[in-house]
Amino acid sequence: MDRLTDAVFSRDRDAVARLYAADAVLVAPDAGEIQGNEEVVAWSTEFLDAFPDARYESVYAHESGNTAIDEGYFVGTNTGPLVSPTGETMPATGRSVRFRACDIATVEGGLITSHRFYFDQQEFMGQLGLVEG
């Protein structure tokens, strides 16, 4: 998980792709189910492009067998367009966010095969000023 977090937040697309199995499945509140490592890379890149100064503040990390769990805060300022769950592109709000998130990854043969993200979309959108918080 540490290698993945470093690769994602340093925007190293190749390193991110190398950490996921070709047929990996990612599930996120803002995107539903995404299949394939290239699609996973595209999703993470698209999201971080909307928050160029993004960082992750880890609060709790745990590994057991082939499962890794990371809980913390996503922090960043929305200065780039953001793609909504419906695929609509929304202009940058200029607002900063800090919201709690948790993700769970399953690893097989040294590659992530399943990755599930959890965060409160209402809180996230509220901090952006897009919905009533």
Return the number of other C-beta atoms located less than 10 Å from residue 120's C-beta. 13
Q: Provide the residue range defining the domain that includes 14.
A: 2-127
The CATH number linked to 22 is 3.10.450.50
pLDDT by residue, tens only, the chain of 133 residues = 889 999 999 999 999 999 999 999 999 988 889 999 999 999 999 889 999 999 999 999 999 999 999 999 999 999 999 987 777 889 999 999 999 999 999 999 999 999 999 999 899 999 999 887 5
Q: Is residue 21 part of a domain?
A: yes
The pTM (predicted TM-score) of the whole model is 0.89
Asked whether residue 132 is assigned to any structural domain, the reply reads: no
16 closest CA partner among 45, 57, 46: 45
Q: In the chain, what are the helix, strand and coil shares in percent, each to the nearest 5?
A: 25, 45, 30
What's the structural domain count of the chain? 1
Instruction: Estimate to the nearest angstrom the gap between the alpha carbon of 26 and the chain centroid.
Output: 10
The residue count for the chain: 133
Q: Is residue 133 part of a domain?
A: no
Specify whether the CB–CB gap between 99 and 127 falls below 8 A.
Answer: yes
